[in-house]
Amino acid sequence: MSDNLFAPQSIAIVGASNKKGKIGTIVTENILKLGYGGKTFLVNPSYKMLKLKRCYAALSAIKKPVDVAIVCVPAKFVADVVKDGAATVKNFVIISAGFSENGAEGAKREKELSDLAKKHKLNILGPNCLGFIAPNLKLNASFAGGLPSAGNIAFVSQSGALAVAIMDKAKEEHLGFSNIISVGNKMQLDETALLEYLENDQETKVIGMYLEGIKDGVRFLKAAKKVSEKKPIVILKAGKTAKAQQAISSHTGALAGSDEIMDVAFASAGIIRANDLDDFFNLLGLISFADAPRNGAAAVITNAGGAGVLTTDAFKGKEIALAEFDEKTKKQLADQLPGESSVQNPVDLLGDAGEERYKNVLELLNKKEIGSIICVLTPQEQTPVQKIAEVIVEAKKTNTAAIATVFIGGERIGSAVSYLKQNNIPNFANPDSAVEALDKYYKWSVSGKRGTSAAGKKSPQRKKRVTDIIAKAQDQKRGALLFPEAAEIMELYGINCVKAYAILPGSPVPEVAEFPVVLKIDSDKVLHKSDKQALILNIKDKGALLSAIDKLQKNFPGAQLVAQPMQEKQTEIILGIKKDDIFGSVIVYGLGGIYTEVFKMVDFLIPPMSVAEIKSSILKGKLKFLFEGARGQAAYDADEFAAIVAGLMDFALENGQVREFDINPLFIYNDKRKASAVDVKIIL
Amino acid sequence: MSDNLFAPQSIAIVGASNKKGKIGTIVTENILKLGYGGKTFLVNPSYKMLKLKRCYAALSAIKKPVDVAIVCVPAKFVADVVKDGAATVKNFVIISAGFSENGAEGAKREKELSDLAKKHKLNILGPNCLGFIAPNLKLNASFAGGLPSAGNIAFVSQSGALAVAIMDKAKEEHLGFSNIISVGNKMQLDETALLEYLENDQETKVIGMYLEGIKDGVRFLKAAKKVSEKKPIVILKAGKTAKAQQAISSHTGALAGSDEIMDVAFASAGIIRANDLDDFFNLLGLISFADAPRNGAAAVITNAGGAGVLTTDAFKGKEIALAEFDEKTKKQLADQLPGESSVQNPVDLLGDAGEERYKNVLELLNKKEIGSIICVLTPQEQTPVQKIAEVIVEAKKTNTAAIATVFIGGERIGSAVSYLKQNNIPNFANPDSAVEALDKYYKWSVSGKRGTSAAGKKSPQRKKRVTDIIAKAQDQKRGALLFPEAAEIMELYGINCVKAYAILPGSPVPEVAEFPVVLKIDSDKVLHKSDKQALILNIKDKGALLSAIDKLQKNFPGAQLVAQPMQEKQTEIILGIKKDDIFGSVIVYGLGGIYTEVFKMVDFLIPPMSVAEIKSSILKGKLKFLFEGARGQAAYDADEFAAIVAGLMDFALENGQVREFDINPLFIYNDKRKASAVDVKIIL
């Protein structure tokens, strides 16, 4: 995408008008009247002159460079406008509605538009969008009224109406924007393209996005990983409530909700997910105003004990924590403060605190290893609210910690809070919100280099063999692989399976070396093998095996059977691949057994990841108790398990055609015995 | 407590003054200048006249009825003031600080004050409090400035400074108060006494409390249960972060955090717990303005699709849910609205919606079974914000649903939002906050009659026997009971224990009827019986038993041993009693086994409860999967388990002297075998 789409030196408005209430009129006025300094061209064949300017019949008539064309004509004329302009204009913002959001005919129009974009190598924002706003250029190329303040927040919105509301609220919060971009139908310029553009936009410190969907999850995560190393991405993702999922026949598939996968995917890319609209504003305000806390140690200073306790409570379950002051610090605080003050953290300055106490304590804390400072205030009779705001603003100039305030009240604090925000101090009406936002900002800052994880080496031979096995099953019109086939594939990916003897109808029974064995039906028709009809346990010798075979073959005529040596169970793991609509193959793993769904000790991983990253995730995940050795149990082997997951991830990356995949159970041991997959289900 | 404390017809101010900045001066001015219509008497021996009024030397000099005395003199004079006035004044508000919050001397003063209160049957609020405010009487008997609006919220605060901030913010939110009461040190009038008073206060619709501690948890819950049947109690409880707990030697004790117990206790009494300060305001505003949703069906109407999706998301995990409209309703909506509108729920009125569309849809929904309606609005160019606010206010007059709004924005919605609040429509800037508050209000309304639960019948004989057993152990300086003693007690409470043969040093070995057995040390010194040194499993016959006894007696000379028939394990439960600092004995039960702490399938119950209530809690709790029969397993017996828990609760209520108590494990079966306690630890 070229820079001059969002920072144009010349703009044409196609569908410019002066009829009241028309979108073309609003856009024309927004561009002409708010101070934009670039060249502007009006296009509308119905006028010669408009707003005292020459009006062109078509883009092609302009004959001067046009960086971007804003198109507000009815949907049915849009393709003609683009065709006419494509030779000279490369960037289009299609505000017009009536495309894929609007039935089959609209979808056809959008397809035509998309083809034109490809053919002429155009950048198209929209269609069906609000437009964009670049406050620093005093450019409002949208049909939202007014001009927000210039600042360092880039805001990308999939909802125009919400963008209007957010801009209105942002004004109240003294937040400023580098860009506001409405993506509309995201026909071509989607969230990924905009991330890539904003990555290098010098004015943008933080990228905020309101998204209802993600167009290409894999591409999006890759871009987000890269961008979030440079600047925070805060996303308010709507649509948490799951759509009806397509029929799921694997067990792992049912364990993963799409919103949980969204959480994991965002975390894997260093994206900060906002809980709700309030959190979204809080995060944008904090990040816009403050640098990230340089460490996890926080200090709270307050003129009200109760508000201090509420703030302390807010640290529960967070990564940032109240610093423990050393004796020297406490002594220094005590020297500054009246005898009844608390020199613990929170520092209680007492109800009669003036600005000097805040000032002195802020100065003192500046010399300590503190990453963030929250200044709490309640407006008591003696409280000089404005003066305290002033010393906090002053302290920010030299303080290395991220400073936020929690001024609680209404009228008595109103103008001081405005003053704080005008001077880039984020104020939170609610202590919990302050800590929540600081914690997320801090976690983003330490989440470190992510880059693109290298998955294991791809192996064309291995992939060929898998393709052959699958092709054979498809030829035979089977919906799933047989266990010996699945086991062969697993071994190719380094996953050990329990030995299996295939017993084919009409073929001689193979020599079984180890008894006792379990005999079961191996068929995609019988998916729940624990079904007692399809399973005979604890077969002690060859004679018993033959009669068991007889019995099952009677129950399921023509079915293939499989005999496996009985395994001693220690701990059961379930793992598999879930196909997510957005992010593609997702690895699911967790504690198996009959209560898998009850305990929900399940985690998700988004490929690709290196074995080291996988291991580190496992050791931080819900199963860490196994690999740490909880309650006096010997630890299970994290390296072995990480290698198994890595094998599964390689399989997922190499074999996109597999719809669902379960290993259930995988037995793992903490006594040096090798982990082995007892059952593997590969659904085509 | 007499009504005339908080609704006095006459007030004396002891320590009245006109010196600038003195608390006595502020209180005097607050009472004299804000319009209070009752009689006022100033008391200060240094003046004859003050503020153009006669000034009395002492309370006893007034010789006219005084409903309440507000005391602002230094702490050391307070007792004398009370003694002097006690004959004629029954209600005192002690604003003065310098009592138990202030070291040993202060504590002594508070004791003296407390003794005076008892001796003279006085009601004392404070000491060390802000005072109280009764806006409807235009009475500000505190040293906070101004007079909040009159309304239906009673606010009780353990922090004066926070009360000031909350009053200031409440003004902005157009919230009005029936009472604002600062409880200070809660020497005598504590949260329970105030609940009891506010229960019958006609002007109070909702009671909001900011509490840092609870003085007598059992008494408090009893009162709260009763009050919350009539009116909602909303509590912002500070101090979530656990204090260092005292050394805990039982297993169940370690499973229960004090804040989790607080949650359960509040829920058991129908108290609505606010998550944080924002939630507290949201709940007070909603309940003050609206009636509780009459059912759990919610409708959302919006002029912005995106905001509608965010609101839909907010219902995730809630008890209230978006109503499914029937075909007739959809047809009726379609008749009212433009073709592109969504007539699903949320109803999307489209971006160009005027007030008529809101009006028509609200009228239509009023005829449906809808419990709550959320009107969402973003201020788009065409949006007549104020007119829409007006039709919502109008609709509220006839609508049977609870109506809330989510107007999102800043300047463009500011005056309309004020208009809404002035007309008792709660507005939420954040969709999630609206749904959260409505859901809590709804849950309160359906939580039903709680009353006082009858526990099982007390049995003096049973209690006597327990007392004797414990006395014997104490005589022998044991810190815990031996298993046969504990088992005898359990049987008294109807809890079946595994048979145990006590093997005493030097006594003959009893005849054991069932092999195999397990042999273990039975001593309070060896608490973790799974310690391999102290336990021998699977003893097959008498000979093996004798040599096992020999071995353990060598390892632990002089120890008492116990032999138990080996039990087949199916499901292990852990249960016990935890002594909570605030609420006394709390029953803890959950899934046992080595991963108890990992799975945290643990619930808490606060006695007293009937067996039926216990069963219903169990079936709603974390172990419901066992009693429902998850994943094709037969269900375990909920009645049997409820009876065991009830037995434990009776034990807890009858035997307060027991410090901690564990049954770990209790084996339960889903095949008609009787549940039995394998080990019981009663710590004295």
Q: What tokens does A448 get?
A: 């470190």
* Cα A624 from chain centre: 24
Q: CA triplet A282, A286, A292: central angle to 5 degrees? A: 135
Q: In chain B, what residues touch A241 (CB-CB under 8 Å)? A: 312-313, 315-316
Question: Is residue B419 within a helix (H) or strand (E), and if so which, with residue range?
Answer: helix B411-422
Q: Does A504 touch chain B (CB under 8 A)?
A: no
For A467-495, the pLDDT digits (tens) are 999 999 999 888 889 888 999 999 999 99
Could you give the CA distance from residue A79 to residue A76 in angstroms, rounded to a whole number?
7
Strand partners, A519: A536, A563
Cis preceding-peptide flag for A338 (omega within 30 of 0): no
Is residue B249 pLDDT above 60, yes or no?
A: no
For A578-619, the pLDDT digits (tens) are 888 899 999 999 999 888 888 889 999 999 999 999 999 999
Strand partners, B536: B519
pLDDT band at B254 (very low <50, low <70, confident <90, very high): low
Phi/psi for B143 (5° steps) reads: -105, 20
Per-residue pLDDT, B375: 98
Buried b (16+ CB within 10 A) or exposed e, B258-295: bebbbebbbbbbbbbbbebbbbbbbbbbbbbbbebbbe
For A616-635, the pLDDT digits (tens) are 999 999 999 999 986 678 99
**For range B313-322, the mean pLDDT:** 95
Per-residue pLDDT, A595: 81
Could you give the CA distance from residue A141 to residue A131 in angstroms, rounded to a whole number?
6
Give the residue carrying structure tokens 């303080």. Answer: A399
Give the DSSP per-residue string, A136-151. GGTEEEESS-S-PPEE
Alpha-carbon dihedral sign for residues A342, A348, A353, A355: positive
Is residue A282 pLDDT above 70, yes or no?
A: yes
Q: Does A656 touch chain B (CB under 8 A)?
A: no
Could you give the CA distance from residue B71 to residue B83 in angstroms, rounded to a whole number?
12
For A99-131, the pLDDT digits (tens) are 998 889 999 999 999 999 999 999 999 999 999
Strand, coil or helix: A257: coil
Q: CA triplet B571, B575, B576: central angle to 5 degrees? A: 165
Of B158, B161, B625, the CB nearest to A303: B161
CB neighbours (10 Å) of residue B118?
A: 9
**Do the Cβ atoms of B313 and A241 come within 8 Å?**
yes
Mean pLDDT of chain A: 91
Q: Is beta strand A584-591 parallel, antiparallel or unpaired with respect to A571-580?
A: antiparallel
Judged by CB atoms within 8 Å, which residues 379-408 of A form the interface with B? 379-381, 408
Give the DSSP per-residue string, B331-376. HHHHHHS-TTSB-SSSEE--TT--HHHHHHHHHHHTTS--SEEEEE
Per-residue pLDDT, A243: 43
Per-residue pLDDT, B245: 40
Residue of A nearest to B341 (CA): A102
Pick among A95, A149, A164, A636 to test the B interface (most B CBs inside 10 A)? A164
Could you give the CA distance from residue A285 to residue A440 in angstroms, rounded to a whole number?
13
Per-residue pLDDT, B651: 93
Pick among A99, A166, A169 to test the B interface (most B CBs inside 10 A)? A169
With a CB cutoff of 8 Å and minimum separation 6, the contacts of A255 are A574, A578, A588, A590, A596, A597, A600, A602
Of B240, B597, B632, the CB nearest to A313: B240
Per-residue pLDDT, B253: 58
Cβ A153 vs Cβ A177: under 8 Å: yes
Q: Does B627 touch chain A (CB under 8 A)?
A: no
Per-residue pLDDT, B453: 56
Q: Does B309 touch chain A (CB under 8 A)?
A: yes
Mean pLDDT of chain B: 91
Per-residue pLDDT, A527: 52
Contacts 24+ apart (CB under 8 A), B382-387: B382/A21, B382/B351, B382/B352, B382/B354, B383/B303, B383/B351, B383/B353, B383/B354, B384/B354, B384/B355, B385/B412, B385/B413, B385/B416, B386/B415, B386/B416, B386/B419, B387/B354, B387/B355
H-state helical runs in B504-637: 542-555, 596-599, 611-620, 624-628
**For range B637-648, the mean pLDDT:** 96
Could you give the CA distance from residue A177 to residue A147 in angstroms, rounded to a whole number?
10
| Axis-axis angle for helices A277-289, A160-172 (nearest 10) | 50
**For range A653-660, the mean pLDDT:** 84
Q: CA triplet A633, A636, A638: central angle to 5 degrees? A: 145
Is residue A401 pLDDT above 80, yes or no?
A: yes
Q: What tokens does B635 get?
A: 């269900």
Report the percent of chain B where pLDDT is more than 90.
Answer: 77
Q: Is the ipTM of this complex over 0.85?
A: yes
- Amino acid identity of residue B319, one-letter, is E
CA-CA distances (angstroms) from residue A494 to A609, A643, A651, A654, B238?
16, 8, 10, 14, 53
Using alpha carbons, select from B581, B579, B640 the residue that is nearest to residue B611: B640
Cβ B141 vs Cβ B132: under 8 Å: yes
Cβ B536 vs Cβ B552: under 8 Å: yes
For B502-532, the pLDDT digits (tens) are 898 888 888 888 899 999 888 766 555 455 5
For A213-265, the pLDDT digits (tens) are 898 999 999 999 999 999 999 999 988 765 434 444 555 556 667 888 999 99
Could you give the CA distance from residue A41 to residue A58 in angstroms, rounded to a whole number?
10
For B70-117, the pLDDT digits (tens) are 999 999 999 999 999 999 999 999 999 999 988 899 999 999 999 999
Strand, coil or helix: B82: helix
pLDDT band at B259 (very low <50, low <70, confident <90, very high): confident
Query: How long, in residues, is chain A?
Result: 684
Per-residue pLDDT, A245: 40
- How many cross-chain Cβ pairs, A to B, lie less than 8 Å apart? 209
Of A277, A309, A598, the CB nearest to B430: A277
Cβ B206 vs Cβ B232: under 8 Å: yes
Per-residue pLDDT, A246: 41
- Amino acid identity of residue B137, one-letter, is L
Cβ A185 vs Cβ A213: under 8 Å: no
**For range B383-407, the mean pLDDT:** 97
Per-residue pLDDT, B247: 44
Is residue B62 pLDDT above 50, yes or no?
A: yes
Q: CA triplet B651, B656, B660: central angle to 5 degrees? A: 80
pLDDT band at A555 (very low <50, low <70, confident <90, very high): confident
Q: In chain A, what residues touch B239 (CB-CB under 8 Å)? A: 309, 313
Could you give the CA distance from residue B562 to residue B17 in angstroms, rounded to a whole number?
76
CA-CA distances (angstroms) from residue B231 to B134, B154, B291?
19, 11, 11
Q: In chain B, what residues touch A143 (CB-CB under 8 Å)? A: 381
To the nearest whole Å, the CA of A212 is away from the closest chain B CA by 8
Is residue A673 pLDDT above 50, yes or no?
A: yes
Could you give the CA distance from residue A211 to residue A233 in angstroms, rounded to a whole number?
12
Per-residue pLDDT, B524: 66
Using alpha carbons, select from B445, B441, B443 the residue that is nearest to residue B433: B441
Pick among B168, B531, B601 to test the A interface (most A CBs inside 10 A)? B168
Is residue B172 pLDDT above 80, yes or no?
A: yes
Q: Is beta strand A571-580 parallel, antiparallel or unpaired with respect to A660-668?
A: antiparallel
For A350-364, the pLDDT digits (tens) are 999 999 999 999 999
* Cα B447 from chain centre: 14
Residue of B nearest to A321 (CA): B241
**Do the Cβ atoms of A161 and B313 come within 8 Å?**
no
Strand, coil or helix: A233: strand
Strand partners, A162: none
3-state SS, A43-70, equals ECCCCCEECCEEEECCHHHCCCCCCEEE
